[in-house]
A and B are shown apart, each in its own frame.
Chain A
């Protein structure tokens, strides 16, 4: 028996797999998005099972607080990029397969070409913005998606976009309100839970490749590790959701998934920067009585409470900077304006107080 056969012997002797199944595994290409709590266990089993080509994309670095659940890593991995650190360990686990690493963020710019090079995508991400991006890119490139997600002691597993089945958007068409679902780093997670869920995702990937068993297609599996209870729910494909995604294919690179999930990037300017800029439209969102006025900037005076009503006074085309007294209300104003389609917009860090101090220091 050659070394290859001895490595996979215990799965090759399963009549459902055999040499032909092993050949299918070694001919397949799986891309794992995120080498964290879910990605690590999935990567370990997929590597050990002999998936021929595995891609790992992750921009993040290993931290000590990852080690209680991301057991692919050890002390020596701390500070290293996760995709690279994962490959270091996986190569030792199985040197006979190809492992491609992408130590970068998954974006709308790289997703489609990356997904096109693989057969199956495994979602091990930790935020809604990337999850919707991954789902939509799978729909556009026609790749099945092995989905998993966790919350404290509970997990979800499903296979989306497989054999005309439902997609993630057929289950959750819209992301939840920003900030309403806490992440593992905010709320904590029992280390073994992503181990179980990530392993289940890997199991779905193997079943798809081998063509055995029942794939979790059209079903959402919920697992509660405290009550040790599994429940599964049927999901229907919603064609309207799928065609909506396909319609975005042409402009995919320009979609802002953070914005879609309510995560706004608010640009900030310092007082120093403000006084170096020219041809800017300023908006003072404070109440009329608030002092000091920054008259040298000739701002439009629109209190925050009247902003939506008086938005028409603001020139869409012009670079716009908002300020308030200390920089809190102006952030809210930028959010409101961004939601209403204003793009060239930022706010002043420290507000009128910072502007006034800077101005006074120049006069002296």
Chain B
């Protein structure tokens, strides 16, 4: 399946992109995250939450037939 991955805040800096399309088999969120961290080692330094099709999910959520995964970091600034 094709997935759009969206990176916000410092995650866009860690990967140097805001968005990309990837081809992947159906998988758990944790597996996808591991793959992305292998590809972008700087992601290891950041904490973030994952939303699949605009819904916040756990790492044990199974991604199948979905289209969009967003990585959401916390912001502190004010």
Contacts and interface: CB of A to CB of B under 8 A. Distances in A.
Interface of A: 34, 36-39, 123-128, 131, 148-152, 154-156, 171-172, 174-177, 180-184, 189, 194, 220, 222, 224, 227, 231-236
A36 B49 CA distance: 27
Contact of B46 (A175, A180, A233): A180
Contacts of A128: 74, 76
B10 A151 contact: yes
Contacts of A182: 10
Nearest to A175: B74
B77 A37 contact: yes
Contacts of B55: 233-234
A184 B77 contact: yes
B70 interface: yes
Interface of B: 6, 8-10, 18, 45-47, 49, 51, 54-56, 70, 72-78
Given A181-B10, A235-B56, 11 more contacts: A34-B78, A37-B78, A150-B77, A150-B78, A151-B9, A151-B10, A154-B8, A172-B74, A176-B73, A233-B72, A234-B51
Nearest to B9: A151
B78 A194 contact: yes
Contact of A222 (B8, B45, B46): B8
Contacts, number: 90
B11 to A, nearest CB: 10
A124 B55 CA distance: 26
A232 B8 CA distance: 12
B75 A233 contact: no
B54 A183 contact: no
Given A177-B47, A227-B18, A231-B6, A126 B77 contact: yes
A257 B45 CA distance: 22
B54 A234 contact: yes
30 contacts: A34-B78, A37-B77, A39-B78, A123-B78, A124-B78, A125-B78, A126-B76, A126-B77, A126-B78, A128-B74, A149-B74, A149-B75, A151-B73, A154-B9, A156-B75, A171-B49, A176-B46, A177-B45, A180-B45, A180-B46, A181-B10, A183-B76, A194-B77, A220-B56, A224-B18, A231-B54, A233-B51, A233-B56, A234-B51, A234-B55
A152 B73 CA distance: 13
A180 B47 CA distance: 8
Contacts of B72: 220, 222, 233
B74 A183 contact: no
Nearest to A197: B78
Contacts of A150: 75, 77-78
Contacts of A227: 18
Given A171-B49, A222-B8, A233 B77 contact: no
Contacts of A180: 10, 45-47
B75 A155 contact: yes
